[in-house]
Structure 1
């Protein structure tokens, strides 16, 4: 409720894009409440099960990992640094053995000590996909024994043989092949320490032990999540997290347009979800100099695309899939995302420009005006025996995704492809909706609108989850939505992991990209640009280069925000 005081009037922010590559409102001021909001729910508070990038950023407040991305807005933010570890890993055996030492006197939020055995147990939990589906599984093929697959810690088969803990502070990983990106895996939430005594399996996310500067004070799924300080966190022993607010309050499940209105009105400090302002708010903000000065428009390196499922008829025929590619009106699709300023840069390739393997690839040209090559699309339909077109279903969720689905339907209708739009639940869209092969089949989703940002900023981290056959997850959280399992693609990916020469790796990944585009299972739309709004009283605001979103764990609140709280 407004009080009519001056604090209700936004003051000028630091300027358009000031939070891209630099920090807005640097401050070390502690105290206050950071107020966040999302339209979607937290996918999981179990660090092994979360896969939403904004929840990974939230996890940086709750949990620590052996390595972590530093609080840095520049290129240095892309390289993991020691977090729970007291220094870089000792790497031996040609990149197959990685040894880390934990810092001294690490404790959970209940005061109990954190040991190397807890990190090992966290890694073992990743293998229990029948119990804990949803999170990344990169560690499984690197640490498993194909002759005796490890089922996880709940089957009573003994420990994971490839991870050793010779003492309470030392952990040794013995990989079955070299993997130069291993430090990046040690920065993922799934390796946050979990004490075996507190592990309740599938329900652990209801009461997890926290190793970071905050712990869960209250949580009502679909409504709110409140965090309070972890009294056993040692600021001097954490080189990454400033932990400035005393409390963090997240409001969950707010309609996207309502969220924008309440954010701009100052009720919330930041939209944690980071999908950016919707079209109505964009139109308002971009023409108002004061509001515009509080916005950032970064290239996030997220890829927005349509996945096409070969296992859903008639898309088992590659010509039916290619017809969709040729019929796509790229301009209309970009407009559905928000236009060239806030909707993203049009792309016909998969890799974002900042990755070495990026290439100018246009496998299915859509004409000089980018509105679609309808003759080529009709030729593909005839090759598929579908000259009169066909009916299919496109899966999506509300908001911008729905606008994209409608634009796809309008595009392909011009060649007789008649799409029915099916909206799925926002909160579970990537876990049990589009990310569930069973859901895709049950609803006959031949096409799915989705997006993807790299789990870590390398070619493998970006593309492997989308196209590597070994990463198909039947129980949910599946990002290889098309379930592509091409032996040649898989072989090229494996070869890249054994290639130490950066130029050679880039060439292999370009080959992977070309092969994937030949299959026509991914229709790339844009490399994302998102319009973020930051209220002017939030400190230490910047877009983290490894995540493409605001790094909320770095933020604080000025006295202006505290004064505002006291007048409402």
Structure 2
């Protein structure tokens, strides 16, 4: 999973156009990997696209309970902290943001206004330094109170708190004009104002003012950073347990590591929402079942299992059964996601570049992918950028070569700690990692981590692990949302990091600064060149596979698909075929 980062969209992921000089722009890319065709997308310039209600789903019925089975609980449900795709998919039911992606179901994503009347207005004359959003009429919370622009500003303000360090940091860094965004202003918990510096509120309008151009703000505003919250409803770190709803569903009950139940928010008005539906009465997430248990239950589809969706890929042992039964195979949401999964090398612990190169040469990607589930789970990756990224260029700096890996180690046998999420699936995969690396001379100690806090633990700067897996998918498909969050060492903090390799190089950081000042299309070749430069000179990670989803759903579930902006099942477009 991704801490959108940090974890893991349909048969191919959409290639979104990023604003160039703040004007609508589209693009496409292709690579040598068999990813299927890339798609296209845009930021809407038509306010009509932001008006609700969302287009009705053909054949949809209202009623019933949709079930989601997960191996482990969410890292975070607080929308400013949620950065793993399974959690962001759930929070899309609970909270609204200034903007959001609308998926036409045909491979095209359009960024529209969610709470806002449009996808944002550049008020700086095309300089992208000032942006304005106006809230729609009729927006309400779960208690019937009105959502205000001040609530949006307060939600952004609390995202500066060091106690809420997880989640995307784009808007905070842009407002502060500093990667260390909470160096001075730390939000309302630490004596700061309820409206952060650079943000202004006037009636229903909220504006952002930056010292540098940020043409990507409409995209960044689709994240939970802009979710509204009244100050009186702020429970600080406890908001993880009970987010205050502005979306079509609200929390009915939540028992950590056991069950989350959502029910309809009667004050949500479909007429204000161009994206979501509320077809099912309740949404229940049950934690603790392995991928094998999920697959067997949903394959049989008896009782509640007929209304359920897997929260894991179909495991390798059950693939032949699923793929050889047309009726079951037709109940699989499948396709490439935008994520590249890599084995992070903790560069603060493994400082010898030859050792990092040996890990790259000596890691058997094919064996790992086979253990993962074969071609339904992913395809071998060599790059930091996904093939769905504007400007992607394929290369292979480290073809699998055991002899080369052994030569680089020079007879040494470094002992490394490999950390992994303590689930049945990863217990097996960890053994595969251990075996393949020990074949070239490494000694690998396996260290399981509680899966619910996995990203929190590896996100600590002083974590005691040498190797661990993470998946990164673009927050929008520009290199600006892939390389800086993971490979800009100036992002490294005490905790809440997405810079899992803990890699820091002045020349790389300087090039990042140069590229982030350019439009997405202009910067695209530079991001591809920097991708290759990072790997060939520094080898800070081992790119392993381009991710695929292959998740089964029950016989009574209608319109289930993998979301192109989340890489996870889209709940708000699903329904129960018999309405119960």
TM-score range, shorter chain: 0.7 to 0.9
Length, aligned pairs only: 522
Please say if 1:68 is aligned against 2:88.
no
Distance 1:509 1:306 in 2: 21
Shift of 1:62: 0.6
Pairing of 1:503-518 with structure 2 (within 5 A): 504-517=522-535, 518=537
> Residue deviations 1:191-215, cap 9 Å, x none?
2101111112222233332100111
Alignment CA distance shift 1:353-1:108 (3 Å): same
Alignment CA distance shift 1:244-1:188 (3 Å): same
1:376 to 379, 399, 404: 404
Please say if 1:293 is aligned against 2:326.
no
Distance 2:488 2:175 in 1: 17
1:70 and 1:240 in contact (8 A); partners too: yes
1:413 to 402, 417, 438: 438
Distance 2:425 2:491 in 1: 27
Distance 1:272 1:426 in 2: 20
1:11 counterpart residue number: none
Alignment CA distance shift 1:204-1:296 (3 Å): closer
Shift of 1:540: 2.1
Alignment CA distance shift 1:145-1:414 (3 Å): closer
2:460 counterpart residue number: 436
Distance 1:289 1:145 in 2: 54
2:118 counterpart residue number: 87
1:358 counterpart residue number: 392
2:314 counterpart residue number: 277
> Residue deviations 1:348-373, cap 9 Å, x none?
1121212123112211122xxxxxx1
SS where residue 553 of structure 1 aligns? coil
Distance 1:261 1:355 in 2: 36
1:188 to 202, 217, 223: 223
Distance 1:162 1:289 in 2: 56
SS where residue 451 of structure 2 aligns? coil
Alignment CA distance shift 1:240-1:349 (3 Å): same
1:566 counterpart residue number: none
Please say if 1:482 is aligned against 2:513.
no
Shift of 1:249: 1.2
1:122 counterpart residue number: 155
1:226 and 1:247 in contact (8 A); partners too: yes
Gaps of 5+ in 2: 1-9, 14-35, 40-54
1:309 counterpart residue number: 346
Shift of 1:335: 1.0
Distance 1:425 1:545 in 2: 28
2:237 counterpart residue number: 202
Shift of 1:406: 2.2
Distance 1:226 1:273 in 2: 16
Shift of 1:270: 7.0
Distance 2:557 2:308 in 1: 12
SS where residue 218 of structure 1 aligns? strand
1:25 and 1:538 in contact (8 A); partners too: no
Shift of 1:230: 0.7
> Residue deviations 1:257-287, cap 9 Å, x none?
2222222222335766743112222232122
1:29 to 61, 67, 71: 61
Distance 1:471 1:199 in 2: 27
SS where residue 102 of structure 2 aligns? coil
Distance 1:287 1:248 in 2: 31
1:282 and 1:531 in contact (8 A); partners too: no
Question: What is the aligned-residue RMSD (CA, Å)?
Answer: 2.4
1:536 to 518, 534, 555: 555
Please say if 1:261 is aligned against 2:296.
yes
Structure number with larger C-alpha Rg: 1
Alignment CA distance shift 1:34-1:337 (3 Å): same
1:57 counterpart residue number: 89
> Residue deviations 1:49-89, cap 9 Å, x none?
11211111111111111101114323432x32111001231
Shift of 1:304: 1.6
2:199 counterpart residue number: 163
Please say if 1:545 is aligned against 2:574.
no
SS where residue 222 of structure 1 aligns? coil
Distance 1:551 1:29 in 2: 16
SS where residue 95 of structure 1 aligns? coil
Distance 1:155 1:501 in 2: 36
> Residue deviations 1:64-121, cap 9 Å, x none?
11101114323432x3211100123110320011100000121100111110000001
1:37 and 1:271 in contact (8 A); partners too: yes
Pairing of 1:204-243 with structure 2 (within 5 A): 204-243=239-278
Distance 1:76 1:17 in 2: 12
> Residue deviations 1:475-512, cap 9 Å, x none?
23x2211111222222222222211261x311221132
Shift of 1:536: 3.0
Distance 2:489 2:392 in 1: 22
Gaps of 5+ in 1: 1-15, 367-372, 563-568
2:479 to 444, 451, 459: 459
1:356 and 1:506 in contact (8 A); partners too: yes
Pairing of 1:126-165 with structure 2 (within 5 A): 126-128=159-161, 130-144=162-176, 149-158=184-193, 159-165=195-201
2:298 and 2:310 in contact (8 A); partners too: no
1:63 and 1:211 in contact (8 A); partners too: yes
Shift of 1:289: 2.3
SS where residue 70 of structure 1 aligns? strand
